[in-house]
């Protein structure tokens, strides 16, 4: 294996996380099927320096059947474990994550390319959702209703669904899996996870950590299973009647395919898809706060968050002031190795992402836009992977086709509006996606209108903070082509369970509903 960012402790992190120099195999928590797998070898290269990190074997149909057998057997046991006891296992998993936070954060940074601080933040999200799920394990409650029939009691309760299939994206290679897994586990479900083929080692690391907890508690390894590969492996789950829920994170194109396939067999899907997120900046905005929120939203994770800020909708009266402040801030950005905490922006995930970035800049200019902060691909020492680009800013118009499109890269479009805030809201809502949105204003009326039924049509609507980032306590997700799914907090747990209405007759008579008479 080639040396991998030795100065930043990557090799030590891999060792701590139980990843060998060359790691081949699918796993259900142990190395059960790796030696028997005949799948293709999937290599993981770091966008940080282009080095080979490790390898896994992709899951074959035969491997998948073994995984599903193991998972379904584990479900029959796990569903009968009391929910608070299931919560205790998730609590132990959270403690393991605390112990391995630095190592896992480094792997996330190195394999995906986000800054080390963001890698640590992603692991913290995993810890937070475990804490949330532990409390939730004692809160899986239904409602009681008064029956119209004397001597009857009526209530509803929730039961585990079964095997939950999870398809995650490269940009949050560990957190999104944990959002699903922590909740699904306390609900009594078992999970089969297909991580992105661009970040397979993050999946192996997480599986290794959780497998330690399961083994220490003498629990079936099939409670959490890992499969690897491209979309063809994901298709095995989406077409499988044994998987009642498929939770998929990724592009809108991918989500539409998953939704149609799962709906065709009357399964359930939880979709977290694209976002074309905007910040509205009104005349009453705090410009300093606006700059901080907009810049981090646009360049954090090199613009590869589903909640990244793509559009800045600025009132004409302060347009020049805000534009100049944003441009000045971009001049201070440091681009380089994300494991170096002095840098603000790391690389894009791969060469395909670089290509899409370049095409977006070409398209906005071709449509009449103006680049006020030039982009470009960086080369030379420290940029050998070819995945480093300059965050760019373009002045554009809302109707441009490229502005209507989500480009997964650090490209920010400045759009001007005039008149009242309703005009800005119309621009913001005038795209197909509906994930995250924000308004910068100190005007109470503007803020409340933005949050009203005639305001933002997004699943997330913020006031005086940016579009990027979300807390565990709130349900995360969006509308329209974002898919309508909700993960993480609030009552998102209900999607992982099946609802059952129960009526108990404790009399010696059998009255029928609605007063119907049926005498024998």
Positions annotated as catalytic residues are 272, 306
**Tokens 């030590």 — which residue?**
12
DSSP 475: E
Inter-residue contact 457 to 479 (CB < 8 Å): yes
Does residue 414 contact residue 298 with C-beta atoms inside 8 Å? no
Which one-letter DSSP state was computed for residue 314? E
Please report the DSSP string for 357-414 in residue order: HHHHHHHHHHTT-EEEE---B--STT-TTS--B--EEEE--TT-HHHHS--SSSEEEE
CB 265 within 8 A of CB 241: yes
Cα dihedral 395, 401, 405, 408 sign: negative
- Give ∠ CA 330-336-340 in degrees, rounded to 5: 110
Chain centroid to CA 414: 26
Of the candidates 61, 59, 479, 483, the one whose C-alpha atom is nearest the C-alpha of residue 260 is 483
CB count within 10 Å of CB 141 equals 10
Tokens matching residue 7: 């100065």
């Amino acid at each position: 294996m080639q040396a991998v960012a030795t100065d930043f402790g990557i090799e030590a992190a891999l060792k701590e996380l139980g990843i060998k120099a060359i790691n081949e195999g699918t796993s259900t928590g142990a190395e059960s099927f790796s030696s028997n797998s005949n799948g293709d070898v999937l290599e993981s290269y770091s966008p940080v320096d282009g080095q080979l990190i490790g390898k896994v074997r992709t899951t074959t149909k035969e491997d998948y059947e073994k995984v599903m057998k193991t998972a379904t057997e584990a479900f029959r046991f796990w569903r009968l474990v009391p929910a608070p006891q299931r919560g205790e296992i998730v609590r132990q998993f959270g403690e393991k994550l605390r112990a391995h936070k630095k190592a896992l954060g480094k792997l996330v940074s190195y394999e995906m390319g986000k800054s080390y601080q963001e890698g640590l933040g992603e692991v913290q999200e995993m810890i937070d959702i475990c804490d949330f799920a532990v409390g939730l394990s004692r809160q899986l409650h239904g409602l009681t209703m008064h029956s119209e029939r004397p001597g009857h009691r009526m209530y509803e309760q929730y039961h585990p669904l079964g095997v939950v299939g999870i398809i995650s994206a490269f940009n949050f290679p560990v957190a999104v899996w944990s959002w699903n897994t922590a909740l699904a586990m306390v609900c009594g479900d078992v999970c089969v996870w297909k991580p992105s083929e661009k970040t397979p080692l993050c999946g192996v690391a997480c599986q290794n950590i959780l497998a330690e907890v399961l083994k220490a508690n003498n629990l079936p390894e099939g409670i959490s299973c890992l499969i690897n590969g491209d979309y063809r492996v994901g298709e095995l789950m989406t077409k499988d009647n044994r998987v009642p829920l498929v939770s998929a994170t990724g592009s809108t194109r991918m989500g539409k395919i998953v939704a149609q396939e799962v709906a065709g067999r009357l399964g359930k899907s939880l979709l977290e898809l694209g976002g074309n997120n905007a910040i509205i900046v009104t005349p009453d905005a705090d410009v300093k706060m606006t700059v901080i929120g907009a810049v981090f939203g646009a360049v954090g994770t090199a613009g590869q968050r589903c909640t990244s800020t793509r559009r800045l909708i600025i009132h004409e009266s302060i347009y020049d002031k805000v534009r100049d402040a944003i441009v000045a801030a971009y001049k201070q950005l440091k681009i380089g190795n994300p494991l170096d905490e002095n840098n603000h922006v790391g690389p894009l995930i791969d060469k395909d992402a670089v290509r899409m970035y370049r095409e977006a800049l070409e398209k906005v200019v071709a449509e009449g836009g103006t680049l006020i902060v030039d982009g470009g691909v960086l080369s030379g020492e420290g940029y050998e992977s070819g995945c480093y680009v300059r965050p760019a800013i373009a002045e554009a118009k809302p109707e441009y086709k490229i502005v209507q499109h989500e480009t997964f890269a650090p490209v920010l479009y400045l759009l001007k509006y005039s008149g009242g805030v309703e005009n800005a809201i119309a621009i913001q809502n005038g795209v197909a996606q509906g994930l995250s949105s924000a308004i910068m204003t100190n005007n109470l009326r503007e803020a409340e209108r933005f949050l009203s039924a005639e305001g933002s049509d997004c699943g997330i609507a913020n006031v005086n903070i940016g579009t990027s980032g979300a807390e565990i306590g709130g349900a995360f997700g969006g509308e329209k082509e974002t898919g309508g799914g909700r993960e993480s907090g609030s009552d998102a747990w209900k999607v992982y369970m099946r609802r059952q209405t129960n009526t108990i007759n404790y009399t010696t008579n059998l009255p029928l509903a609605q007063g119907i008479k049926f005498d024998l």
